[in-house]
Structures are given as structure tokens and as C-alpha cells.
Structure 1
Amino acid sequence: MEQTPQVLEANDQIIKQHRSNNFDFLRFVFALLVVISHSYPLSGNSENAQWIYMLTDGQVNYASLGLNGFFVISGFFIYRSFARSASIWIFLKKRALRIFPGLFIVLLLSILMVPLVYEGSTPLFRNIEWYTYLPNNLSLYGFQGVVSGVFDRNFYHAINGSLWTIRYEFTLYLSVAVFFLFRRNKLWIQFCLLLASTVMLCSYIFFREELGPLSMFGLLGYNVLNLGTFFVLGSLLATFELERWVHWGFALVLLVLLGISVYLDLYDVAKHIVFTPLVLMTGFLTLSGVKEFGKWGDSSYGIYIYSFPIQQVLVYCFAPNAMILMLCSVPLSMLFGYLSWHLVEKRALRFKSRPFYEYRRKWLNPQ
């Protein structure tokens, strides 16, 4: 169907807005924080050795900052994706295209890598875990970290321990999709998000010891309450068009409040309320040079899903210390992240705006 001038103009505004903010850079930084954080335990060192962990008296580590930031940004823009989608099918198609193509390739490369590092006592072709690794992880909810005989001598035995968060994010996507039942009633959506964030935040602060260990569909209660609250609050702020209220003064106040919460050992109580708007305001407070970071592509997802197996292979082959592992794995993860974006993710996202049959017809009839 031909697009109207109004639709084209709206798309141009979306593109301009996307290119004039810092979110591509923030996602890149958050991904690298996860890589840096994993360098410690994967090399056999304690996460307590992280500089930020010691500075905050154990309240913050690099991985938690990265993951929390990811879920804040995701909650904000997933709601925007929902608001722009004409139907639930289009919304879910866009979300699936963003997650599964890159995930499939990293899982495929992982199982192809297994014979090179396999040290099991039984022949690899008899190891059922090798065959179930890809389908289990591609299902998201059947997460399988280990193939016995692979990285058994490493400090951590999982091939890709980073993938556990994807099922939480996809579940939150499905939760947002429920809003299609009453998508024209924005006040009702805002009420639902406010209620959900309040319940989740209170449950996290007051009842996480009781609710944290509970599990359903492989989703641990603690992670649902912690990461989920960041996501829901990000979505809530998206409904109020936070970008209209962005100001350096507000961001500075939030940063001071975050520092005070750390100083008073209250970060775990205040982080959702303070960190969420701080991340979003930082994203919209455009900085010269930083706002053009995305012109090279969005490598953050690729960095996140490739860094763990890269680090495991480096530990297996060279047994480096934390600093050497960090220095080697960061550039390699960046390389694979950009390759994943340009060779897989970017190509898959072309299906967002066209029906599949058009690409099929083009492939079958290239002339």
C-alpha cells in the first residue's frame, strides 16, 4: 500500500529524532559495561574487585548498570513501537525480527564451535545437550547454558551466560502487546502502567526475599521485579512524552539524588525511581558528536550476545587475568557486534516494513 504524505512526514520525524539523541551511544556503553563486568568472574576473579563495586560499598557493579539501563531504554522505545504499530501482528513481527535472527546466528556459531573445544568423556555425537542447545535457547524459555564437556575447566561452564535476560525482555514485549485490547484509551494504559510499576516496586522493596526465589516459565521473581520495574517505568515515562521535559538541570538533580542514595546506602531502594528518568534524560540531552554515534550501526545487541562466548574461548585458550581478558574481549566483542548488525540484524529488519512475500518474489525473480 502506498504511503500517504502524512505517514512519510511522520516517518521522517521519527528518523530525525532517532538520529539526534544519545541512545545508540548509551546502549553501546551499557553493552560494554556487561563485557567489563563479566571479565572478572570468567577469569576467576571476584566481582568485588570491580572499581565501582568498591566505590559504592557493594551496591553497584558494571553488569547491573548495563542491564538496568538496557531495560529502561527498552521499556521506553518498546512502548513507542507499540504506539506506532497498526496491529498486534506488526508489533510482534518487529520485536521478533529484532531478537531472533541475531540470536539464531550466535547459537548456530556456538554449536559449530563446540567440536573445537569439546573435552567430554563420551563422543560428541552422543551428547544430547549439543543437539538441544540451539532449539532450547531459541525458544527463550528453555534456556540451556551448558553443554557437558565444553568449558568444563573454565571457572564458568556456560557457553553463553548472557542469554538469560532475553526471555525476560521478550515477556515484557508480550505484556505491552496486551495494550492492543484498549490501545485508543491512553489514560487507561497510563493507569495500568502506573499501577504495575507501583506494585512491582513495592514488591521489590518490601517482599523480594519472599517473592525473589519464586519461578514461573523459567522467570525468577527477583529478576521480574528488578528488571521489569525498570522496563515498566520506562514505558510509563514514554506515555507522558518525557522528551518534552528534558533539561540539563533536571538531569543534574537526578544525578545528585542518585549519588546521595549511594552515599546513604539506599541505592537499592531509590534506583528505579531515580536511575530510570536519568537514563532517559541523558539519552535526549543531545551531545555534539555523540548523537551521530549511530551512523556506524547499532552494535549493542551483537556485543551483548557474542561477548560471553568470546570471553569463554579466550579463557579456555589462554587463561588470562581479568584485565587482559577485558582488553582482548572488548574489541573482539565490538567487532562481532558490528558484524552482527550489518550482516544479520540490519538485513532482518528490512522485513519490518514489507510483507515477506515481496522479498520471496524478489528472490525468486531477481530480474
Structure 2
Amino acid sequence: MSVVHVAFNDKSYDVKIDNNLHTQIGSEVASVWTPRKIAILTDSNVGPLYLADTQVQLENAGFEVLPLVVPAGEQSKSLVVAGDLIGQLAAHGFTRGDGLIALGGGVVGDLGGVVASLYMRGIAFIQIATSLTAQVDSSVGGKTAVNLGQTKNIAGSFYQPDLVLVDSTYLDTLSKRDLVEGYGEVVKTSALDSLDFFAYTGQIKSVSDIYQHAQELSQRSIAYKAKIVMADEKESGQRQFLNFGHTLGHAIELLAHGGLRHGEAVAIGMIAITEKFERDGVSPKGLTEAIRTRLVAVGLPTTSEFIGQPEFFNHLINDKKNHGGTLNLVALSAVGKPIIFKKNVTDMPAFIEQN
């Protein structure tokens, strides 16, 4: 088992990575929580596969379990759904001493974190990550949020879990597309982290390679993210590096209206932003192609017709990373050397459209 320890001034927890964790949920949760009521939040894709077994394991460990299932997909990341879930916790008599487990991918993790942080001003929270996106990125670091209208992740909180469990056998039931979209975040992290990790992703030549190396990819990705978030929990400094590809990617994702997965949009965003910074001499020549090669190898998209459309720039204006008209864009001066490049929102059309 690999363990990545995440520690802040007032909170610490372990991210445990092992392919047998799906059989040890009861004992793992009991190692950090005393007997209590637990809500298991999952979605309509994950629930039929893993909810019943997870519930049995927790009940056998002495917990009282309330299953909560939401429709799969980004539409469940809303204040309306969060409010409904909070109402269900109240109806079942949950107190501040009880807990919530998010069993699922990034959407369930985000939604669960928001609900746990809001209910009675905060109840205990654990993540069991079942998607590659969650296993390499979203389950760690405490950023939780829901969407509002056409603005992604606009309402949320920083709320750290008590434990994160990562078991790559959960990936076996993902569709190929849902697996591959998470690899977009892996490539992002490898480019941010080091030449060593970037070389490692350069060895991933197929979807089957992702399965084969999933545990190592999770460990490396989470280790980097943990290092960053421990140094900057509330995203006032270097945690912004993790937004590499996301500012443009979020705009593309919203314009696609469900036609693109998050990791697919991030992949496109990474290529688009790196092309521009390479053109301007901020990033080294050849970096865009090196990133593109890693994405194309597993079938991730790298272009979008939405880039440069008027609605695209409108979404940049409404991005939560717009600070008084200035976007903090993430560039790579080299692999493993991210920098923040400030760009006025009004200058973005010229920055994007210039050849």
C-alpha cells in the first residue's frame, strides 16, 4: 500500500492507494471514525456497482448507513441538489457527530464535500474515489464546489476529508472515455511536476497502459498535488499552478453543454494555452507537441471549434479566477517549472487569436 500524508496546521489525513482497499472499507473507515451514522453519497452509475457492498461492509463495522443516490453527471453539481441532500440528512436525524462518504468520481466528491461542509456547519467527510479523475486529482486537497447556471464551480468551500481511499480496481467498470478523460489531469500534473514524471507519462502509449500503471500514476499525481496544497491550502499562491489548462478548458467545457468531459476540455485547454505561450517565447519550443503526443496516444482531444468564439471570451470574463479583470494564466517556462502569467481579460481575444 502507498500512503500520501496530507497535513495542514489544523488538519491532517492519509490518502491510501492499494488495489485491495475495496474489500477493506469497513476497517479503514473504522480506523478514523468511531461508530456513527454515515451517509453514502453516490450516483446512478456507481451506485448499482458498489453501493450495496460498501454499505454492508460499513454496517458490519458497526456504522448506521443512509444511502443517497443522485443522477450521474454534471447536472447534479447544483445548489438545488445539495439542498435536497442536506434536507435528507436532517430528516434522518444526522448530527454534527455523524459523517458523509462520497463514493464516486469528481462530481460526487465535489457535491459530497459541499454538503458535508454545510450541514450543521460541517460534519466528517471521507472520499472513496472510483474514477481516474478523482484518483489522481479531485479527491485530494479539499476544494469542493457546485455549479450555478453557466458558471462552473462558483459556489463552494475548502473542506478537507478525514481519509481518501484510492483503489484502481474501481476503474475496471469505467467506460473507455471516462477512464481516458482522467488521464488529461495526469498529463497536466506530470508537466507541472518534473522531468521524471513527464518522462513516465511519455511511456503511456495506449489505454491499456493507463490500466497497467494506474496505481503508480495515482501515487505520483497525488504526491505532487499534496505537496502543492500543503504549501498553499486556500489557493493564494502556488496552488494556482494546478489550474494549468483549466481557464480555457472550463470555457470550452461549458460551451460544449455536456459534449465534453472535464478532462477532455482540460486537455484542449492545455494545448491551446501552451501553443500561445510557446509562440510568445514564454514556453520552450516543442513543449506543445510533447504534451499533445501524450494526449493523442490515448485518444484525448486537443482542439476545439469553440476557442475564439464570442461566447468563449464571455465565459473567461465570468471565470471565478477573474481577479478584477485580470486572469492568472498558468504557463510552463519548462517542464516542472510553472509560472503565473497575468493577462487582462480585455487582452484575451488578441492573445488567443494572434497567429
In the superposition, the TM-score normalised over structure 1's length comes to 0.24
Higher helix share: 1
